[in-house]
Each structure stands twice: as C-alpha cells, then as structure tokens.
Amino acid sequence: MRIFISSLIILTMGISSYSQIRSQQISDSSQIYIHSKKVSLKSQFIQKAAAIFGAKNLIEKKINKNEVDQKPAELPKSIKTNFDVIETTKKGRKIWTVKPRNKVSEKVILYLHGGAYYWNISKYNWSFAERLIQETNATVVMPDYPLAPDANCDQVYEFVAEIYEELITRHRPENIILMGESAGGGLALGFSMFLRNENKNQPSQLILLAPWLDVSMNNPDILAVDKKDKILGIKGLQMAGIGYAGQTKLDNYKVSPIYGDLADLPQISIFVGTHDLLLADARKLKENADKSGVSINYFEYPKMFHVWILLNKLKEAQVATSQIISLIND
C-alpha cells in the first residue's frame, strides 16, 4: 500500500479546508462520530488509481517474491531543522525521539508505525508525526521495532516493552499516549492488554488509526468491504499475519487483540474508513466494548481508504488529525 501511495501522493497535493465536524455524545466519557461531508475528489482519485494499478495484491506479491524493503524512511530535513532529535539504538534497531525546541509539553506519544508487520516507518509517518508535534508540542517517540518474518510477535513485544519501561521511568503514565496505525494500531492495543495482564502502569490513552485487530481476517463481514477496498487484499494480510505470529496462535490477543479482554484499559479512540478491509473488525471491537460496558471513542469516515489519515493534504485527513490533536491536548 505504501509503495502505491508513494506513486500517487504527488498527484494529490494541494491546500484543503477543514470539513464541518459533527459528533454525537453517547456517554460522559466517549463519543461516536460519523463524518458527514461528501468524500473529496482527491480521495476518489486515489482509490480509482489504486484499482487501475493493482494495489490490492501488492502485499501478497511482495511477500511471495521476498521483495519487501524493510529500511525505515529517512528523517525529513524539516524535522531535523525545526525540532530536537535524539537517536538511540536498542538491539541494533533505532529509536527516534523528536520534540519541540520551545514550550515542550509534558505529553509523550509512543508511536507504533504500520506496514503489516513487514514494512518499516514511511515518510508519511514522519510527516504525520511532524504535524502532531507542531500542533501539540508533545514529544514523539518512533521506534524501528523488529519486523517479520525475521522477528515474531514475542520479539516485537519484548522490544516495545523495553522502550515503554524506559519512558515510564522518565515520564508520568498520565502523560504517555500510545498511538498506532494499521499493524501498529493492533500492536498498541495488544500491548496495552499485555501491560494490564502484567499489572504494569498503563498509558493515559490509546489512539488507534485504522487498527489491524485480527490477523486471521476471518470476520465474515470483511467480504462485503472487500469489494470496496481498492488497496488492501485479504490473502496478503493473512500471509503477513502468519509471518508475524510465528508459533503464536492467530486468536491470541498479542497478534489479534480483537479476542482480548477490554476491561481495565485506558480510554481507546479508533479512526477508520468504510472502504478499509479493517472496518469490519473496528466495528466489531466497538460492539464488543458496548456489550462489556467499556467506553470507546469511535470515528468513522464513509468511503475513506486505509490509513488516509497519513495524507495530510486530504480534507478528511485534516479533520481527523484535528480530532486527534484535540484528544492529545485534552
């Protein structure tokens, strides 16, 4: 998906205005938001181009041919110029800590990137992180966590746990936000469940952007969305999920947090589009939470594709990012 988006992004640039935000409060601590504005022409173009270029089978083809580029995208010059950057190494992998030079907030965002557990940090992750820092003055910690197939979920959890434990020693838990997109969103939710099970301090909140919640892709409701999603393919994601799980069963919360217990977790906020294969499980998680009496903020964008939020110039991305910024600043 990222390779495809890279070829399209130059065609989708431009200045867009914010859409009107409409939200419905469903309890004192949670909200449901359904975006009501007509889908933008740029969003429609990306999806039509994705269909033409065959993006849907890209993950499957790359994994089959062992052609996955696992190098992280270089830190943009704008981040190096405008922010303080600390680069550390753990187990041979890099961790970037990026913070403002002035008026630094106490908030710290541990950001877990997506990429089906096979792909690394993209330039869109960096541009998104840059926007968050500009608007919140928070510090963003971006780890280059181990990737499949060389690493499995146990090694990834061990790596993230060490980073998190270090953050807890320097920052109060109420100032730490765990954020993840796509595979990173599933990892963020599963890791929070792990912290709870180990009786360890939780972050203040989880912000999950198009989270991958079930690597088995067995939810029957996915089939209806499959016709609309022009970017993600079921088979490719199943292959990636098996590679990431290793010897762990696919219904274990560490690889598929949809099967985990939602009790005693921080406030969860989910952002997803209706032209995203991962929509079905995002809705299922919301239903599970409602049945269990667990509060979840749910933001749904009709006709939007997977991780559109990372494309800063899209109207829909601007609205969603403003909502994310509000969650961070609250």
Condensed to tens digits (0 to 9), the pLDDT of residues 273-323 reads 999 999 999 999 999 999 999 999 999 999 999 999 999 999 999 999 999
For residue 56, count other CB atoms closer than 10 A to its CB.
21
What tokens appear for 7 in the block? 């070829």
Cis peptide before 76 (omega within 30 of 0): no
Question: In this predicted structure, what is the pLDDT of residue 223?
Answer: 97
Condensed to tens digits (0 to 9), the pLDDT of residues 254-281 reads 999 999 999 999 999 999 999 999 999 9
Q: Which residue has the tokens 């009786």?
A: 199
Question: In this predicted structure, what is the pLDDT of residue 330?
Answer: 85
Distance, in Å, from the CA atom of 191 to the CA atom of 162, rounded to the nearest integer, reads 12
The pTM score is 0.91
Residues of the chain with pLDDT under 70: 1-29
Question: In this predicted structure, what is the pLDDT of residue 29?
Answer: 58
Q: Give the three-state DSSP class for 40.
A: coil
Distance, in Å, from the CA atom of 266 to the CA atom of 76, rounded to the nearest integer, reads 32
